[in-house]
Each structure stands twice: as C-alpha cells, then as structure tokens.
Amino acid sequence: MKKLLAGHECETNEEGFLEDAEIWNQDIARALAQELDIAPLTDEHLRVLAWLREQHAAGVAMTLRKVGNSGVTDIKSFYALFPGKPLKFASKIAGLPKPVGCI
C-alpha cells in the first residue's frame, strides 16, 4: 500500500513497514517515529537506527540480545528509546523489515 511519509510516497506492507529500505532517510524516520508516538528522535535514537541499518545490510538477523551487546545502547536504554516493542518499533523507524520473532 502507498503511504505519504515526509513528502515521499512510500510502499509499505499491511503493518506499515517500508517495502524498500533504500528509500529511507531521516525525514521518513521522523515521520514513522511520530506515528508511533516516539518523537522527537534524538541523536541517541539515530545512532541506534544507523547501527540497525548497518547490521541489516551485513545480513545479521537482529535480536534484543544483539542490540544489548552492541555497545551502541543497553537493553534498558533501548526500551526507554523505543517503548513497548523496542526491536519492532526501532526496525520500523529504521526502514527495515519486521524482525523474525516479533509479534
């Protein structure tokens, strides 16, 4: 389905995840974060999102444990940055597919 995010027409799946991670930019991230009531995005949010994108590009399947061991953030801070469903929400805001194992 098509969705207008930060002035960009984006293809999303039924849960609102971007179909093409390559169109992602920080403006789209801010729009997605606002939809999830995670706004404004701070530098700390952006560092985590950049790390997630790097890991995805390298083919690494993401888990909460990997995020906690990343050195970018710890689990407690990750939950504070992306409350509720941190890995799912952070992946969505980062323009990545929904992680395997996320409900």
Q: Is 10 a catalytic residue?
A: no
Chain-centroid distance, C-alpha 51: 10
The catalytic residue among 64, 98, 102, 103 is 102
Query: Are 62 and 87 contacting, i.e. CB atoms less than 8 angstroms apart?
Result: yes
22/82 Cα distance (integer angstroms): 22
Q: Which residues carry out catalysis?
A: 102
